[in-house]
């Protein structure tokens, strides 16, 4: 085992130190070599070191260097050293994060991490949380809690009796709702197309003045951080209207909720703490390994009622049981990495991580503008949308940048126009990475 671990450490170190010099996307040769994995299931076993060698030699070159400093696609965090080390040690422990009796340390660290997260994200200190696989699962868990609460108020037990014959629930969303919220609604029997969509403004923000009359049977889904522009919905107005009507407000705050961790950026997240539930990612901006998200619910009992089951052999104790708040039972002890990331960063380091990414995004926007390209969004957070002319030209530049390999950016369509998306979400991105990436993009754009 020690030999295997030593070899692992050497290979892991080589991979990480190679990130600075390699192409961000894998080369064509690396992709071609993946066919070496395609073989019939071997009859006999293979030595673990040989398995590791195959994985590293064929697998490592075919990765995308998302944990380096020059990957700006989607909203993709890297992995902080402390979070990676915690993930590896937790892997050695192989703890099941479901029940306290299975792993006292996992349950305890999860509870500590929960308190720290509520603190750093500016959410109510007595809210509850489930540690799930990402913001999609967090949206599902939060909306299940909303469904439970609204139907319970209507005299219906949805967990026991299901949705057939249940009183209706209205769902109000902004027109820029993230597709994962629609997935959650479909899984929960609330439907993707019976929702009421509210028009948005030029930044993708829900227009509070165009919101329908709310009622006590309504869930309003707002977002902190539009996936393209980084814009925030008007939480104060929406939450005030919802409170007056007895409606439930759910926040998809996958990455944007992290603005609250920075005193300078916190005004963007003002008003969101008045909601009833919040979905956030840890694998995006907190830079912990996949898969990691958190479902926060103001009244933890609603989440617990929606998620918990019992059986005679499942020995639930008096303390908080992790799996009473999640769709999963057996799972990775995800709270450990979150604890490690926050312990390593501290409050100041967390704020600095968020602010640094936003500063890099502003520099990208400035660099594009200076070269005569049009930035399509107000750069308020870590997201930039840039056009290089007509849609065809923009798409050609995006493809050219991806082929160049210095860095990686994705494309999108923003309010009818093709754009290149910039998302700065990695702790590892330096000023030099930004300048190198900017130069690569401007070179490709100038070459037409
Ligand atoms: C990324 C994202 C999601 C989905 O999160 P996953 O962690 O990929 O499940 C949901 N909403 C927003 C706004 C996002 O950016």
CA of 134 to the centre of ligand 1 (A): 7
CA of 40 to the centre of ligand 1 (A): 36
CB 189 within 8 A of CB 158: no
Counting ligand 1 atoms within 8 A of each CB, the residue from 178, 223, 233, 295 with the most, and so the one to mutate, is 178
- For position 193, which CATH number holds? 3.40.640.10
- The DSSP string of 88-102 is HHHHHHT---S-TTT
Report whether residue 328 contacts ligand 1, using a CB cutoff of 6 Å. no
**Sheet of 248-252: strands edge to edge?**
128-132, 293-297, 277-281, 248-252, 218-223, 170-174, 196-198
What pLDDT is recorded for position 119? Answer: 98
Among candidate residues 318, 341, 364, the one where a domain is terminated: 341
CA 7 to chain centre: 32
What pLDDT is recorded for position 22? Answer: 96
* Claim to verify: residue 267 and residue 209 sit in the same structural domain: yes
pLDDT tens digits for range 366-397: 999 999 999 999 999 999 999 999 999 999 99
Q: For residue 19, give its domain range.
A: 1-68
What pLDDT is recorded for position 316? Answer: 72
CA 341 to chain centre: 15
CB 341 within 8 A of CB 80: yes
The pTM assigned to this predicted structure is 0.98
CA of 88 to the centre of ligand 1 (A): 25
Report whether residue 294 contacts ligand 1, using a CB cutoff of 6 Å. no
Counting ligand 1 atoms within 8 A of each CB, the residue from 135, 177, 204, 221 with the most, and so the one to mutate, is 135
Q: What angle do CA 240, 242, 243 make, to 5 degrees?
A: 65
102 by Cβ neighbours in 10 Å (0-12 / 13-18 / 19+) ranks as: middle
Domain contains 309 = yes
* Claim to verify: residue 4 and residue 115 sit in the same structural domain: no
Domain contains 166 = yes
What pLDDT is recorded for position 317? Answer: 76
Tally of CA atoms within 13 A in the half-sphere of 341 that contains its CB: 31
CA of 135 to the centre of ligand 1 (A): 5
Ligand 1 atom 3: residue of nearest CA: 135
Distances (CA, A) of 256 to 44, 186, 423: 49, 24, 12
Atom of ligand 1 nearest to the CA of 178: 11
Report whether residue 134 contacts ligand 1, using a CB cutoff of 6 Å. yes
* Claim to verify: residue 266 and residue 203 sit in the same structural domain: yes
Report how far residue 143's alpha carbon sits from residue 279's, in angstroms, rounded to the nearest whole number. Answer: 10
Among candidate residues 295, 322, 341, the one where a domain is terminated: 341
Ligand 1 atom 9: residue of nearest CA: 136
What pLDDT is recorded for position 311? Answer: 75
Q: What angle do CA 195, 196, 199 make, to 5 degrees?
A: 130
Domain contains 53 = yes
Give the chain's domain count: 2
Report how far residue 258's alpha carbon sits from residue 266's, in angstroms, rounded to the nearest whole number. Answer: 8
* Claim to verify: residue 160 and residue 212 sit in the same structural domain: yes
Other CB atoms closer than 10 Å to residue 44's CB: what's the count? 4
Report whether residue 250 contacts ligand 1, using a CB cutoff of 6 Å. no
Residues of the chain with pLDDT under 70: 315
Report whether residue 252 contacts ligand 1, using a CB cutoff of 6 Å. yes
């Amino acid at each position: 085992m020690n030999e295997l671990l030593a070899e692992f450490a050497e290979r892991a170190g080589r991979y990480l130190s190679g990130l600075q010099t390699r192409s961000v996307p894998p080369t064509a040769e690396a992709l071609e070599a993946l066919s070496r994995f395609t073989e019939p299931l071997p009859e006999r076993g293979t030595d673990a070191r040989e398995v590791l060698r195959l994985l590293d030699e064929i697998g490592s070159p075919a990765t995308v260097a998302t944990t380096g400093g020059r990957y700006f696609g989607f909203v993709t965090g890297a992995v902080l050293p402390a979070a990676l080390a915690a993930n590896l040690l937790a892997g050695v422990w192989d703890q099941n994060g479901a029940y306290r009796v299975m792993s006292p340390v996992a349950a305890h660290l999860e509870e500590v991490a929960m308190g720290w997260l509520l603190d750093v994200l500016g959410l109510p200190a007595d809210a509850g949380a489930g540690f799930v696989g990402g913001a999609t699962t967090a949206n599902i868990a939060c909306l299940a809690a909303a469904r439970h609460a609204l139907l319970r108020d209507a005299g219906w037990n949805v967990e026991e009796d299901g949705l057939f014959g249940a009183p209706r629930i209205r769902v109000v969303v902004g027109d820029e709702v993230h597709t994962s919220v629609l997935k959650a609604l479909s899984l929960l029997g609330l439907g993707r197309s019976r929702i009421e969509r509210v028009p948005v403004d030029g930044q993708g923000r829900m227009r509070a003045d165009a919101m329908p009359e709310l009622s006590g049977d309504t869930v309003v889904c707002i977002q902190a951080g539009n996936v393209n522009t980084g814009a925030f919905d008007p939480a104060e107005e929406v939450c005030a209207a919802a409170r007056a009507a007895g409606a439930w407000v759910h926040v998809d705050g996958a990455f944007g909720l992290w603005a609250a961790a920075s005193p300078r950026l916190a005004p963007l997240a003002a008003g969101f703490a008045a909601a009833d539930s919040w979905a956030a990612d840890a694998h995006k901006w907190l830079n912990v390994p996949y898969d990691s998200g958190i479902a926060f619910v103001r009244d933890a009992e609603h989440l617990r009622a929606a998620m918990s089951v019992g059986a005679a052999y499942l020995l639930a104790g008096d303390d908080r049981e992790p799996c009473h708040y999640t769709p999963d039972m057996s799972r990775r002890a995800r709270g450990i990495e979150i604890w490690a990331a926050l312990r390593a960063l501290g409050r100041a380091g967390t704020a600095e991580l968020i602010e640094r990414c936003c500063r890099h995004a502003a520099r990208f926007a400035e660099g594009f503008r200076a070269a005569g390209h049009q930035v399509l969004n107000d750069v308020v957070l870590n997201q930039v949308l840039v056009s290089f002319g007509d849609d065809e030209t923009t798409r050609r530049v995006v493809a050219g940048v991806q082929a160049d390999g210095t860095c990686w950016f994705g494309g999108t369509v923003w309010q009818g126009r093709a754009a290149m998306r910039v998302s700065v979400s990695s702790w590892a991105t330096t000023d030099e990475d930004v300048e190198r990436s900017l130069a690569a993009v401007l070179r490709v754009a100038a070459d037409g």
